[in-house]
Amino acid sequence: MNLNYAIFISEPIYTINDLAQIGSHNKREKKAYNSNPDIKIELSKNNIELKPLAEKYVKGFKLLVKDYEKEHQMRMKTEREDRKRTFNQMLDKSKNVVADELLFTATNEFFKDMTREDILDWANTCMEFVYNDLGYTKEQVLHSVIHLDEKTPHIHCVVVPLVKKFDKRTNTERFTISKKQYIRDKIHLSELQDKYHKRLTDKGYDLERGIKGSDRKHIKIKDYKKINRKLEQNLNTRNDRLDKIMKELDEQMETTKTIPFDKNIL
């Protein structure tokens, strides 16, 4: 029975400071990660950039949304003094996200016999989902990387849902950042999960979809990693126990003169 699951998580990023911290983590800008023992910093050189970003996240973000910032600054010139906000203040106080972080992975066993090239092929299929199913352009992808320095390979893909929408109040089109243009609600997310699973299975990957219609709460990326580590530890303990039992049984059978059954069949 196949117990490997296709995993796709979408987690909103609401402030510029949060974006900076996520960028530092995804680009491995720290010298050590004491909060995550799974990260082997000496292996970080093996990580694969799917959409490279030379700059830090905030600088890259500012370049991506430069037209939006110019539009905001022009609008602030005619705004009342008590309503004036810097671009960063406006983004942080807005109910909209500044970016969205997409995590793609699978249960650890799925990657067991994969080469680096195999993992890259899987990752490219995930990015096809980002472009063709979610509908993001390459310009809207701030950064995307495969982390191979942790126990289970996974992709962090940070997208900026920058769009132009019609503003009824001003009767003009204005820039905004809106995740809902790409993931409208839970029903739409479930449909996207179907498309993600189908895209993978169409490429020949033997993966199960998550439980459809589950009432489980959304799991944050860092919480998912903690849960995954715990499950793997429990599985390893069970496997070690089973190996020990089988070894003891094998030893007993080797020393037993009368065997009322075929040992190989057992």
pLDDT in tens, 216-250: 444 555 555 555 555 455 444 544 554 455 455 55
The mean of the pLDDT values for the chain is 84
User: What's the pLDDT at 247?
Assistant: 54
d(CA 18, CA 198): 32
pLDDT in tens, 1-35: 457 899 999 999 999 999 999 999 999 998 777 76
Lowest-confidence segment of 18-27, 129-138, 141-150, 159-168 by average pLDDT: 159-168
Give the global pTM: 0.79
User: What's the pLDDT at 260?
Assistant: 44
Over residues 39-63, mean pLDDT? 96
Tell me the two tokens of residue 102: 């997409």
Indicate whether 162 pLDDT > 80.
yes
